[in-house]
Structure 1
Amino acid sequence: MSLAFIFFIKLILSWAIRIYSTILLLRIIMDWVFALARNWRPGNVIMSIYNVLYSLTQPPLRWLGRYIPPLRLGSVGLDFTPIVLWFILDVIAALLVY
């Protein structure tokens, strides 16, 4: 295989990981909006977008959640799995570029 082909594949994989990271970030933002604005009810379009984001990000978050329990602070549990997944994706994307 030529070096140009390998570079192209690595570039495509890196972009795919960056797009997935953006999807993960959008899901994190929407989760916080839903948690902080309890009286707000989103419309059908926003809920459809959220359902797509949720279905794309939930499998790896569920898998990581088996190994990383939520941090308990009194009656509140902080889930760090999205941050860990974001970090893992960022490291993989950086390694693909070099």
Structure 2
Amino acid sequence: MNLALQLVYLALFAFYLFLLARLVCSVVVQFSRRWEPGPRAAALLETVYSVTDPPLKGLRKVIPPLRLGTVSIDLAFLALLLIVWILMDFVIGRNLS
């Protein structure tokens, strides 16, 4: 059981890293509109987006973005980040006992 929980934690941690990479990519694209990724970066970005898109699309159906005038905040991304973080904490707590 301990090995199974460690594998679940490792998968959650990897997904958390993918979410952080997506956050960094979004910020780079937001502030540097003329940036074009090279072939390696494009392959990495494609991997990051293909891993994180399915859960985000599902959450966006349930949690709409928060609109503040002309600004829109994606609450689904924040919720997914929080859910993964809580699940990681839960798995670590189960693993220690």
Q: TM-score normalized by structure 2? A: 0.89
Match of 1:63 among 52, 58, 62: 58
Map of 1:13-92 to 2, 5 A cutoff?
13-92=8-87
For 1:37-86, what per-residue CA distance to the aligned partner results, in whole angstroms no more than 9, with x for missing partners?
A: 11222212111111110000000000000111111121221112121111
Which amino acid in structure 2 is aligned with residue 56 of structure 1? V
Distance 2:34 2:91 in 1: 43
Structure 2 unmatched ranges of 5 or more: none
Distance 1:95 1:73 in 2: 34
Runs of 4+ in 1 over 6 A off after TM superposition: none
User: Secondary structure of the residue that 2:67 maps to in structure 1?
Assistant: strand
Aligned alpha-carbon RMSD (Å): 1.0
Distance 2:36 2:5 in 1: 41
Rg larger in structure:
1
User: Secondary structure of the residue that 1:66 maps to in structure 2?
Assistant: helix
Identity value in percent: 29
- C-alpha deviation, 1:97, in angstroms: 1.6
Q: TM-score normalized by structure 1? A: 0.89
Distance 1:88 1:58 in 2: 15
Q: How many residues align?
A: 93
